[in-house]
Amino acid sequence: MKEKKSDIQPWETVDTEYLIQRPWLTARRDTLRMPDGKIVPEYYVLEYPTWVNIIAVTADERFVLVRQYRHALGIVEYELCAGTMDEADASPLEAAKRELLEETGYAGGEWTEFATLSANPTSMNNLNYTFIAKGVEKVSAQHLDETEEITVHLFTKDELLDLLRRDEMKQSLMVAPLWRYIAENHLL
C-alpha cells in the first residue's frame, strides 16, 4: 500500500504576499518551489481560525440540529451546531461547549473528541474539531450574534438518516463525522 522509498515531499515557500486581511477573509498568494525545482508562481492560501462542530444528542436519542441560511451556496440548511474558536476559548472543547450553549441553549452531557478534519487542505490552513456530546439538555434560551438567524431542531435517528441520504445536509465537515458516527454505532 505505501511507497516509503521516494515519498512525496513538501514544497518550499519562496515568497508570500497578503491580498486581504479581514476578520472573515484572510487570503495570501504564495510562490512555491517544487522538489524538482519548478516554480509555482500563484498558490492561494485562505487563513482561518480553528473551527468546531458538535454531534449533540439528548438523553432520549434526539440529535440537536440548527437551521440557517448559507449565502455562498444560497441554501437554507440543517446543520450541526458549529463555530469558530475565539481567543478567549481555552481549547477547541471549550469553544464547542460555548457555541452549543449560545446557538441552541443546550449544555451538559458527556463530551468526547471525535474527529479532526479539513474542509480543504489544498487551500485552507485550519482544522475543524468535531465533538460528541451525549445526554445534552436544554438549559437556557439562545444567545445569538447580531447577524445570526438560527432555529433549533431535534431529529430522530431515522430523520437524520433521511436528511443525510438525500444530501440535504451539504457541509462535508458535518456530514463526514455524522456518517462515521452512524457506521461506528451500527445505526444502519
For residue 181, the minimal CB distance to a second copy (Å) is 9
Considering only residues 37, 38, 87, 141, which one is a binding residue for a second copy as defined by CB under 8 A?
A: 38
Question: How big is the chain by its Cα radius of gyration, in Å?
Answer: 19
Distances (CA, A) of 182 to 34, 109, 143, 157, 176: 40, 19, 30, 9, 10
Residues 88-147, interacting with a second copy (CB under 8 A): 115-125, 127-128, 146-147
DSSP 11: P
Considering only residues 69, 91, 112, 137, which one is a binding residue for a second copy as defined by CB under 8 A?
A: 69
Contacts of 103 (CB under 8 A, 6+ apart): 66, 81, 83, 142, 144, 148, 150, 152
The residue range among 2-10, 87-95, 97-105, 134-142 that interacts with a second copy, by the rule CB under 8 A, is 2-10
For residue 20, the minimal CB distance to a second copy (Å) is 6
97 SS3 class: helix
For residue 185, the minimal CB distance to a second copy (Å) is 10
**DSSP bridge pairs for 46:** 27, 124
Is position 46 an interface residue for a second copy (rule: CB under 8 A)?
yes
The residue range among 20-28, 88-96, 104-112, 132-140 that interacts with a second copy, by the rule CB under 8 A, is 20-28
Residues that contact a second copy, how many (by CB under 8 A):
77
Is position 170 an interface residue for a second copy (rule: CB under 8 A)?
yes
Is position 16 an interface residue for a second copy (rule: CB under 8 A)?
no
In this structure, the dihedral spanned by the alpha carbons of residues 35, 39, 44 and 47, taken in order and rounded to 10 degrees, is 50
**DSSP bridge pairs for 154:** 64
The residue range among 90-98, 103-111, 131-139, 169-177 that interacts with a second copy, by the rule CB under 8 A, is 169-177
